[in-house]
């Protein structure tokens, strides 16, 4: 393919800037660069314009540097909000790309930024706040905060509802239940488990009724009285006769 030498009169990404002398395909120069006044053929007459093109280039680069420096300062104070679809567990469906961030910057802050200046090593795949590096200029870098939120956030309790839930929890009786391992490594029940099971199944003690007095019990009650009468008789004191009925 035939090549031709040209002098660039405008900055073309990937090719060069004003006053650069480059070789390109003859068809590309003839059909695109020359008609759009992005370049001129390399001739002795056109070489005289190189100095003026260099001056124009310096002015353009200085303007871009100042503009990007101011943009970096402004962007560092912003938080770009990106809403995505996510499940109840917070897991995102998809990811956030540089193109999506560029679109939100344009929509929220009216900032037009080439997505190629948004430096993402990997697409964002988690909710929350992320610090994104911006390559705004060869000598200017910036940082943009991007907050990724779910389109269906979890419901937030009002102070009244939270206080009511806390009061309801306080009214519930608290029961403590000790848990013991049912089996040890050899398949035997430990002493704590055996004692706990025994206490669970132990029947309540029933108060025994007082047994009725038998004939032997009655005789045992009368024996002290007879012994007392016999002792009195030996002492010479006659026993008082029983009253006649």
Please indicate, yes or no, if residue 136 is contained in any of the structural domains: yes
Residue 21, domain member (yes or no): yes
**pLDDT score for 111:** 93
Question: 16: how many CB neighbours lie within 10 A of its CB?
Answer: 17
pLDDT, tens digit, 9 for 90 and up, residues 121-164: 889 999 999 999 999 988 999 999 999 999 875 555 567 766 77
Confidence of residue 180 (pLDDT cuts 50, 70, 90): very low
143 shares its domain with 82: yes
Q: Is 139 contained in some domain?
A: yes
Q: Does residue 64 belong to any structural domain of this protein?
A: yes
- Considering the domain architecture, whether residues 91 and 140 belong to the same structural domain is answered as yes
pLDDT of residue 130: 95
What residue numbers bound the domain in which 51 lies? Answer: 3-68
Q: Which two tokens stand for residue 174?
A: 């608290």
Residue 169 lies in a domain: no
Total number of domains in the chain: 2
CA dihedral 212, 216, 222, 228 (to 10 degrees): -140
pLDDT in tens, 87-108: 888 888 889 999 999 999 999 9
Which of 127, 150, 173 is the C-terminal boundary of a domain? 150
- State which of 47, 68, 89 marks the end of a domain: 68
Q: Give the whole-angstrom CA distance, residue 94 versus residue 101.
A: 14
The pLDDT mean for the chain works out to 79
Which one of 22, 49, 68 terminates a domain? 68
> Looking at the domain assignment, is residue 9 inside a domain?
yes
Which of 16, 230, 211 is closest to 5 using CA atoms?
A: 16
pLDDT at site 224: 57
- Asked whether residue 100 is domain-assigned, the answer is yes
Interval 17-66: pLDDT, tens: 999 999 999 999 999 999 999 999 999 888 889 999 999 999 999 999 99
Using alpha carbons, list the distances in angstroms from residue 198 to 86, 192, 194, 195, 201. 52, 10, 6, 5, 5
Residue 234 domain flag: no
Consecutive H or E run containing 73: helix 50-75
- Are 93 and 134 in the same domain? yes
Report the CATH number at residue 27.
Answer: 3.40.5.10
Q: Is 231 helix (H, G, I), strand (E, B) or coil?
A: helix
pLDDT tens for 59-75 read 999 999 999 999 999 99
Residues 60 and 81 in one domain: no
Note whether 80 and 146 are same-domain residues: yes
81 and 145 in one domain? Answer: yes
Q: Please give the torsion angle defined by the CA atoms of residues 82, 85, 88 and 90, in that order, rounded to the nearest 10 degrees.
A: -40
- Same-domain pairing of 55 and 102: no
């Amino acid at each position: 393919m035939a090549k031709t030498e040209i002098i660039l009169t405008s900055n073309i990404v990937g090719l060069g800037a004003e006053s650069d002398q480059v070789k390109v395909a003859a068809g590309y120069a003839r059909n695109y660069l020359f008609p759009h006044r992005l370049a001129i053929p390399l001739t002795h007459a056109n070489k005289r314009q190189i100095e003026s093109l260099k001056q124009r280039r310096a002015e353009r680069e200085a303007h871009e540097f100042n503009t990007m420096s101011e943009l970096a300062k402004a962007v560092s104070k912003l938080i770009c909000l990106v809403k995505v679809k996510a499940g109840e567990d917070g897991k995102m469906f998809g990811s956030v790309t540089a193109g999506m961030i560029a679109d939100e910057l344009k929509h929220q802050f009216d900032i037009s930024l080439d997505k190629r200046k948004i430096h993402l090593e990997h697409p964002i795949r988690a909710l929350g706040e992320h610090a994104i590096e911006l390559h705004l200029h060869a000598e200017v870098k910036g940082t943009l905060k991007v907050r990724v939120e779910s389109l269906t956030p979890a419901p937030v309790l009002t102070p009244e509802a939270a206080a009511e839930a806390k009061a309801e929890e306080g009214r519930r009786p608290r029961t403590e239940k000790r848990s013991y391992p049912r089996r040890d490594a050899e398949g035997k029940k430990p002493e704590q488990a055996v004692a706990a099971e025994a206490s669970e199944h132990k029947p309540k003690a029933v108060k025994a009724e007082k047994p009725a007095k038998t004939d032997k019990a009655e005789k045992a009650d009368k024996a002290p009285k007879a012994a007392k009468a016999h002792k009195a008789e030996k002492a010479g004191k006659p026993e008082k006769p029983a009253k006649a009925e």
